[in-house]
Amino acid sequence: MAYAIIAAWDAQMRVSRYNYVETEPEAIAIVDKLRGRGPNALPPVKQAPNAYYVLMPPPPAGTALFQHRARFWKADPVAKTVAFDAAACHAWQSKVTGRGIDAEADWRIDRVFSP
């Protein structure tokens, strides 16, 4: 099971600062760092006081390769959840495939936050 760490989102609730890890203790440690807790706290300018972690949502059929791409995540900071936007993923796949780009090889364009 993978855990998504959500540190920031835009006005449309698209995740803009994130990470993902394999275990819950790792997720807790990163969220604590982001919130400025403990001896490994980030400097105030890098903190994200509203950061949270969740189990990564399962990807819908045909989108498993893109589960870790935050461009397809929608945050709900009030409920502390994240959802996978399959429609946006399929639209993006159609767009890049139409341009002759290998969607699977284009993974480098996402920004991954690593504290």
Q: What percent of the chain has pLDDT over 90?
A: 41
Name every residue whose Cβ is closer than 8 Å to that of residue 76 and which is 6 or more positions away in sequence: 13, 82, 83
Distances (CA, A) of 3 to 33, 45, 82, 96: 16, 24, 11, 28
As a whole number, the mean pLDDT across the chain is 79
> pLDDT band at residue 64, thresholds of 50, 70 and 90?
low
Per-residue confidence band for 113, with pLDDT thresholds at 50, 70 and 90: very low
Per-position DSSP letters for 28-79, written without gaps between them: HHHHHHHHT-STTPPPGGG--TT-EEEEPPPPPTT-GGGTT-GGGEEEETTT
Q: What is the pLDDT of residues 77-86, one digit of tens each?
A: 999 998 877 7
